[in-house]
Amino acid sequence: MNDRPELFRGNRILLGCIYWAFVLYVFVPLILMVLMGFKDSRFIGFPIRSWTLDWYVGVFANTEVLSTFGYSIAIAVLSTLISVFVGTWIAVLLESRKFTGRPVIFGLTVLPALVPGIISAIAFRIYARWLGIEPGMGAIIWSHAVHNVPFVVLVVMARLSTLPKSQMEAARDLGADPLVAFVRITLPYLVPAILGASIFCLLLSFDDFVRSFFLGGYEPTLPVLIFAMLRSGMSPEINAIATVALIMTAGIGIWAERFTRRMKKDT
């Protein structure tokens, strides 16, 4: 990549150190979390006097924890699909040209991101009742989707603003109508932004507690479950659940990446 590495070597080493220090910073708490899942006690923390596998075994023995995990993943994926679709559309509108009311639309778009969690949860709950949406999976997906749209819009707009105008014009000159031009030119250009935004949305949804709690029914999402379990103490069991969830999420992520890569090769 660098034609003349000697020129940038000093920077590179320095930046490399910063990068790995950052890796350390984000991973140390993670390692502690995994480690504490092996502690033979009802509470996490040092010193660890004896070790046990019971907590991890318990997670796999407990089908309800696993079904909660699946439930959370399903909610995250479905709400992300909606957010990405709506968010991209809004971003395209906002970047298409200047028009009267554009700042108003932009303001309304970022609104859900600005409201503190508890307020938005209660507002959603009351609004859901007004709309006749029953609490449960659909309601959670709806609230996550609405809440995450602003993040998609911000990320996609940033990328869209750098799209060379000439490409669109060239497409038009070749006779492409706006829809085809969008699908063939704009969308591929937006792929990195859309992927990034999807990661945001998946994370926000997967980690959301308040909205899931207020709009959920008798089946908890993972964070709702963890919050309730926390009532009787931060036990290694929660660490074990979180670790297993992390490993499974990573597994699904890697599989999805492989899968999409293979799909691309095939076509």
Partner 1 sequence: MTKLIFNRRRFLGTAAVSGAALASPAYLRRGFAQSGGEVNIWTYNDFVPDAFRRQFEADTGIKVNIRLVDDQGKQFNLLAAEQPNPTVDIMTVAGHRFLQFINSELLAPLDTDRLSNWGSINPTFSESDWATIDGNKWGAPILSGAEVLAYNSEIVSEEEALTWDTLFSDKYSGQTAYIIQDMMSIIMLKMGYDGNMVAYMDDPDEAARIVNEAKQFLIDHKPLVRKYYDSGAEFQQMMVNQDIVLGHAWNGPAAALINDGFPVGMTIPREGSYGFVYTFNVANNAPNADNAYTFLDALLASPEIGAAMTKASGFISTYKGADQYLNELERKSTSFPEEQLANLQFFRAEANEMKYGLVDPAVEEIKAA
Partner 2 sequence: MTDSATAKQDRPALGSAGDAPTFWGRLVGWGPYRLLMQLATASPRRQFLILMIFPVLWVLTQHLGPMLYMIRVSLTDAYPVAPGVEQSFTLEHYAKFFTNSIFWQPFFRTLTFAATFTFCTLIITYPVAYFLARHVSRRNQMRFLLLLLIPFWVGEIVRTYAIMILLGNTGAVNLALQTLGLVDRPIPFMYTSFSMGMGIVYLTALYMLLPLYSALEKLPQSMNEAAADLGAGAWTRFRRISLPLTIEGISSGCTLVFLISTGFYATPVLLGGPSTTVFAETIAGFFHVAGDEWPTGAAFATIMFMAALVITFAFQKLMNALRKGEAK
Q: Which residues bind partner 1 (CB under 8 A)?
A: 41-46, 52, 54-55, 58, 62, 64-65, 67-68, 122, 125-126, 129, 135-136, 213-214, 217-220, 224-225, 227-235, 237
Binding to partner 2 by residue 233, rule CB under 8 A? no
Percentages of the chain per state (helix, strand, coil), in multiples of 5: 80, 0, 20
CB of 187 to partner 2, least distance (A): 10
Contacts by residues 161-167 (CB-CB < 8 Å, ≥ 24 positions apart): 161/95, 163/189
Q: Which of residues 46-105 bind partner 2 (CB under 8 A)?
A: 46-47, 86, 89-90, 92-93, 96-97, 99, 105
* C-alpha torsion sign, points 124, 130, 135, 139: negative
Residue 134 is given by DSSP the state P
Nearer to partner 1, 151 or 214 (CB): 214
CB of 226 to partner 2, least distance (A): 6
Nearest-angstrom CA–CA distance, 104 and 94:
11
Select from partner 2, partner 1, none the partner in contact with residue 70, using the beta carbon and a kind-dependent cut-off of 5 to 8 Å: none
CB of 25 to partner 2, least distance (A): 8
Size of the site for partner 2 (CB under 8 A): 111
Select from partner 1, partner 2, none the partner in contact with residue 82, using the beta carbon and a kind-dependent cut-off of 5 to 8 Å: none
DSSP string across 203-252 = HHHHH--HHHHHH--SSPPHHHHHHHHHTT---HHHHHHHHHHHHHHHHH
* C-alpha torsion sign, points 248, 250, 252, 255: negative
Nearer to partner 1, 99 or 130 (CB): 130
**Residue reference for tokens 């009742």:** 129
Site string for partner 2, 175-214 (x = CB under 8 A): xxxxxx--xxx--xx-xxx-xx--xx--x--xx-x-----
